[in-house]
Amino acid sequence: MQVTRTRARLSDGREIVYYDEEPGRVPVPDPRGLPPVEPLCETRRDPLTGDHVTITAHRNTRTFLPPADQCPLCPGGPASEIPDPSYDVVAFENRFPSFDLRTPGVTPAVDGAAIFERGRGAGRCEVVCFTDDHGAAMSALPVHRVRTVIEAWADRTAELSALPEVAQVYVFENRGVEIGVTLHHPHGQIYGYPFVTPRTASMLAAAGRHRASTGGELFADVLAAERAGARVVAAGEHWTAFVPAAARWPVEVHLMPHRHVPDMVALTGAERDELAVLYRDLLRRCDAMYGTPLPYVAGWHQAPVGEGRDLVRLHLELFSVRRAADKIKYLAGSESGMAAWINDVPPEETAARLRDLAGA
């Protein structure tokens, strides 16, 4: 698929990149005259777990659920981050980033105590708008537009992975006020972390143990077992969607390629083509579960930039907090306090429901 990439700058210096299905774009200058971005991002390591926590005081003032006529992701409006009057897919640096290369240096320890390790939150955060239609959704887009989004995801992954400060790239979409979205316009985000995230670190450790004890690849063996079981939702030549055997959420689906690839950059054209069809189909099934748009997080797990690329396989983890048509799963003491998950819905039941929604 041919997608034309066009770069420009917003008035405060942030980069914006258009991904068009037809060539010929001449970017409109940003008329807002914004002051330069001055992010304050730092990471602190929890000495009890080894996990990084990011502190970003400037994000507390970010835009929160503005009315549609003031949406910063609609094209060309007075509050818009996208100056052009229309677009297909566009990515730009987040105005309220969790990580940023421009963030100032910090002292290496909180309170001067070496046990409280601190570092610059030097990475990159981007917003990716899937369409200029404020009332649309990823599941409602034509397949060719979903395919364009996938091209943008892969291109941004490649660019962020090349930054020396970035250790891992995470592509994700939050949808629904129940999840905590602050903008309704169809969009996702990309984080270029300056560290390997805790969940990926756990996967790396598990995959290393599996290889040492069995000689096999953990993700390949999980996929083979799931494809032989009762929790497959949909499958194609290159991808399989399944509810994992140990699903943590009442609605949770993983989408995994049949061959080992570390990230989106490594996908072939045929794999991207099928992904556009299968991913949209999966989102439509999810929306049909309760007869109302499903609040969800859809996150693409990719291998770290510099380690474990033969151990961690690219895959989607989509989950929702909705456990019934009129009920939300709140993280209670066991999940929030101890990260010990309790799922009220058997994974086999969720898989059967999603399977039955073919063609939704």
State how far the Cα of 178 lies from the Cα of 250, in Å rounded to an integer: 14
Estimate to the nearest angstrom the gap between the alpha carbon of 141 and the chain centroid. Answer: 18
User: Which two tokens mark 102?
Assistant: 């421009």
Q: How far is CA 143 from CA 22, 126, 138, 176, 272, in A?
A: 16, 23, 10, 22, 11
Look up residue 181 and give its two tokens.
Answer: 């979205």
Helix, coil or strand: residue 191? strand
Question: Residue 80 is which amino acid?
Answer: S
Residue 276 · residue 148 · CB < 8 Å: no
Known catalytic residues?
187
Contact 223, 240 (CB under 8 A): yes
For residue 169, give the nearest of 125, 119, 219, 121 by alpha carbon.
125
Contacts 24+ apart (CB under 8 A), 221-225: 223/256, 223/258
Environment class of 203 (CB within 10 Å of its CB; exposed 0-12, middle 13-18, buried 19+) = buried
Distances in Å between the Cα of 292 and the Cα atoms of 282, 285, 326 are: 15, 11, 11
